[in-house]
Structure 1
Amino acid sequence: MASDSIVIVGAGIIGLDVALVLSERGYGKYITVMAEHLPGDTSVAYTSPWAGCNFSAISGTDANALKWDRHGYTHLCKLASERPEETFVQRTPSTELWDENVPHDKIKGMAEYLEDFRVLPTDDLPEGVKFAVSFTTLTVNAPSHIDYLYRRLRDQYGVRFVRKTLPNIQSAFASSSTKVVFNCIGNAAKTLHGVEDPKCYPTRGQVLLVRAPHVQTNIMRHGKDYETYVIPRPESNGNVVLGGYMQKGVGDGSTYSYETQSILDRTKELSSEVRQKEPEVLAVFAGLRPSREGGVRIERDEIAVAGQKRTIVHNYGAGGTGFQAGYGMALDAVRSIEDVLRDLRNNEPRAHL
C-alpha cells in the first residue's frame, strides 16, 4: 500500500497525536501528514507551539472530556516516566484554585486517577477562593514536544511529512491511493472550503516566557473572567510560562504591554515562588486556541471528490486542551475507521518464500 493511503491534514498536536496512535498500531508507513506549518515553524495560525502547557481541570465536564483526560494523563505519565529529557514531559506538583463555578463532578472523576490528589482545607485558601486541590500534573514544553513527535514519527515509524497549503479539504484526496483523510486543521476549520464549520472560533491567549529557575510548582487560579497560571517549562534551562487570557472570539495575534503587566501582577500575587525574585521576561506570545461551540468534533463522514464518495474523519475544536485531550481524541478518531484499517492490512502485499 502507498505512503499516502492515510492522509492527516494538520501538524499541530491533534494531527500528530492521530499519527502517533496509528503508528503505534503499525500504520506509520501508510501515513502522509500535509500541513502549511510543521514543528519548528512559528505563526499565529499555528497554535500548538504557543501552549503553556500542562494537564489541568480546565477542560470540559462531559463524558467525552472526562474520558479523553484520563487517556491523556496516562499517555503523558508514560512519556514522563520513560524519557522525560527526550519527550519534554515531566511530573510537576500542582495546585488549582477556583473563585466560583467549581466543577465538582469533574474533580470527582479526576480524583480517581490523578497522582497525589487531595482537596485543600478551606481555612488555607486565599481570600476569594472557594475550592482548591493539589495533585501531580504533567507539564509539557510545547514547541519541543511537538518537535519530538515530528522526529519520532518520521524516523521511527516512517511517517511522511509534506509542507502544503490546501485550497480545500477535497484536495487532500489528490492521490487515488488515499483511503481516508483525517481533518485536524484547528482554527482553519471555520474557513477552509469543504469544511467551513460556523461553530468554530478562536480563543486568544497571551503568555510570557520568563527565566525563573526557582519556580518549580504549577499553580492555576480560575476566576469569573480571568485565568492566571504559572507553568514551569520542562528541559528549558529554568524557563517558566506565565499567563494568561481566555478571550473568546478574539483573533488578534498581537501582544499588549498592559496585558503583560497584568500577567506579572496576577502571577506574583498567586505564586509565592514568583514573588521570590523578579522574573526575567524573555518573550511575549499570543496564541489562538481552536475552539468550537458545542465542543470537539470527532466525526466520520463522507465527502464527494470528483463524483466519488470518500471517507473523512473530522477531529478538531479542542480549544486550549489539545495537549491533554489530544491522545484520547485520537483514539476515538482512529476507532471510527477500523474497517478501513482492516482493508489496508488485508491488502498489504505478502512476502513470498
Structure 2
Amino acid sequence: MPKQTIVLGAGVTGLTTAITLLRNGYQSIIVVGQYLPGDISSHYASPWAGASILTTAQSNNHRLQGKCSKRKERTDRFDIDSLQEIESDTRKEFEFIATHVPEAHVMRCQGTFYTKQPACQDMKWISQQYRNVTEIPKDKLILGAIFGYTFETYMVHVPKYLAWLVKTLKELGGRLERRAFQSIQHVMDHYKEANIIINCTALGSYFLKDIRDHGMYPIRGQTVLVHAPHIKTYHHLDGIGLWTYIIPRDDGTVICGGTAETDNTQTSPDDIITHDILKRACQLSPDLAFGKGPEHVKVLSVHVGFRPARRDGIRLEREIRRRLDGEKVIVCHNYGHGSGGYQSSWGSAQRVLQLIEKDALSKL
C-alpha cells in the first residue's frame, strides 16, 4: 500500500478519483488544487456544469464504443476500455446515488432528446445507453428535428453534489489542500512521502511544465440559471454545432444552455448570448415561460465556464518517474473529459485504480 497519494486537481474528476481510491483501501490521500469547491472562477470548470448524465459517446465511433482494441506495452497487454463502458459504469453509480444518497442531490428524471443530425438515429444503440427509451413519432417532433426519443436519466445539482463529494472525501479520511504547482516534479519535491501522484488538472495540464499537453483547449460555455419549479423533465436539442438544453434541479431551479465556443475566452457573460439561450430554450419547451416567451422567464444568474477539451480524447495513462534517490513514483493521468466530466467521472476513476494496480505501463 502506498505511503501517500496526491491527487492534483479538485474538480469532479479529482474528488471522485480520490474517493474511489479511499473506498478501495488506499490511505493518506490529499486532494490538492488551485481552486476548491465553493470557489467562483470561470477557469474552475466543475461548478458550472449542468450537469446531465447524458452520454457523450457516439454510436458510429468504434474506437470509443463497444469494441475494445488492444495494444502491447513491453510484455503486457491491456484492453482499452471504450468511452461507452466508462460512461455506463458512471451511470450505474449515479443510479445508486440517486436511489440511496439523497444528500448528494442527484435526481432521477425523464428526458426528451431531439436531434437535427442523421448520425444519431440508432435506436438499438441508444437503448443500450438508457432505461425506458421510446422513439418519438415523426409527427410529434419539434420544428427542425429529424429524430427524437424519451428516456430516463439523472440530473446533478452541481454545487450541492460537489459539497457532498468533499464531505465524503473527509469522512473517508482524505484531505483537501489549496496549492498551485508548476510541474509534476514540483509536486514530487513538495510531497516527499508521496509515491502515487494522480494528475486531474484538466486545462492545467496545458501549463504544467513537464506535461505541456498542447492537445488541451478550452470550450466556452454560457448558461442561465432560472427559477422554474414546474419544469421536471430534461430537454435537449442536438443541433449542428449548437446545443440547446433545459436541466431541472431538485430545488426548483433550472439550467438553460448553451454554447460551445472554441474561439471566445471572455469570462464575463454576454447579454446577447443570454437572450439567445432563453429564446432557444423557450422554443424547445414553451412551458418554461408558460407559453409567454423568454422575457417572462425568471432569471437568477448567468454563468460562464470553460470545458477542458482534449483533441485526442480523455487521457488515462500511467507512467513511472523516479526521485533522485531512485525511489519509484507512479504518475497517473486522468484528464481531458471536455463536456463529459460528470458523465465519465466514476468510470474514469475506476480505470485509474486499475492503472495504478498494474505492473506495466498501460494507456487508454
Alignment TM-score, normalising by the size of structure 2: 0.87
* Equivalent pair of 2:221/2:306 in contact (CA under 8 Å): yes
Task: Choose the corresponding residue for 2:167, options 151, 165, 173.
Answer: 151
Deviation by residue 1:208-234 (Cα, 9 ceiling, x = unmatched):
011111111100001012110000122
* 1:167 paired residue number: 182
| Conservation of the 8 A alpha-carbon contact between 1:5 and 1:30 | yes
For the Cα contact (< 8 Å) 2:90–2:345, is it kept in 1?
A: yes
Q: After TM superposition, give the deviation of residue 157 of structure 1 in Å.
A: 0.4
Number of the residue aligned with 1:286: 304
| 1:242 paired to 2:256 | yes
The alpha-carbon deviation at position 59 of structure 1 amounts to 3.8
How much has 1:167 moved relative to structure 2? Answer: 2.0
In 1, distance between residues paired with 2:322 and 2:297?
54
Amino acid at match of 1:30: S
User: What secondary structure does 1:255 align onto?
Assistant: coil
Does structure 2 retain, via aligned residues, the 8 Å contact 1:201–1:249? no
Q: CA separation in 2, counterparts of 1:90 and 1:118?
A: 20
Partner residue, 1:48: 46
- What one-letter code is carried by the residue in structure 2 that aligns with 1:111? S
Q: Which residue of 1 aligns with 2:226?
A: 210
Q: How far off its partner does 1:118 sit?
A: 1.4
Aligned partner of 1:111 among 127, 130, 134: 127
Q: Deviation of residue 275 (structure 1)?
A: 3.2
Indicate whether 1:95 and 2:94 are aligned.
Answer: no
Structure 1 segment 8-157 matched on structure 2, within 5 A: 8-27=7-26, 29-60=27-58, 61=61, 62-63=64-65, 64-84=82-102, 86-104=103-121, 108-154=124-170, 156-157=171-172
CA distance in 1, matches of 2:83, 2:130: 15
Match of 2:4?
5
Judge conservation of contact 1:70–1:110 (CA < 8 Å) in 2. Answer: no
Q: State the alpha-carbon separation in 2 of the partners of residues 83 and 190 from structure 1.
A: 36
What CA distance in whole angstroms lies between the structure 1 residues aligned with 2:246 and 2:129? 23
- Identify if the C-alpha distance between structure 1 residues 195 and 274 changes in structure 2 by more than 3 Å, giving closer, same or farther: same
2:361 matches 1:315: no
- Equivalent position of 1:265 in the other structure: 279
Q: Distance between the aligned counterparts of 2:277 and 2:320, measured in 1?
A: 45
After TM superposition, which residue ranges in structure 1, 4 or more long, deviate above 6 angstroms? Answer: none
Distance in structure 2 (CA, Å) of the matches to 1:339 and 1:120: 45
Residue in 1 that maps onto 2:73: none
* In 2, Cα distance between equivalents of 1:226 and 1:232: 20
Q: Which amino acid aligns with 1:268?
A: C
Q: Tell me which amino acid in the other structure corresponds to 1:317.
A: G
Match for 1:190 among 203, 206, 209?
206
For residues 146-201 of structure 1, what are the alpha-carbon distances to aligned partners after superposition, in whole Å with 9 as ceiling and x for unaligned?
110001110x2000111111121212222332111100001111112111101000
Per-residue CA deviations over 1:321-343 (Å, capped at 9, x if unaligned) read 11111111111111001158xxx
Q: 2:313: which partner in 1?
A: 295
Q: What is the alpha-carbon distance in structure 2 between the residues aligned to residue 121 and residue 129 of structure 1?
A: 11
**How many residue pairs end up in the alignment?**
333
Amino acid at match of 1:313: C
Equivalent-residue separation in structure 2 for 1:22 and 1:134 (angstroms)? 35
Task: State the alpha-carbon separation in 2 of the partners of residues 329 and 109 from structure 1.
Answer: 21
Within the candidate set 299, 305, 324, 2:343 is matched to 324
- Match of 1:10, as an amino acid? G
Give the equivalent residue in structure 2 for 1:178. 194
RMSD: 1.8
State the TM-score, normalizing by the size of structure 1.
Answer: 0.90
Structure 2 unpaired stretches of 5+: 66-81, 360-364
- Bigger Cα displacement from structure 2, 93-102 vs 108-117: 108-117
Q: Which amino acid aligns with 1:297?
A: R
Other-structure match for 2:72: none
Percent identity reads 31
| Structure 1 contact 37–46 (Cα < 8 Å) conserved | yes
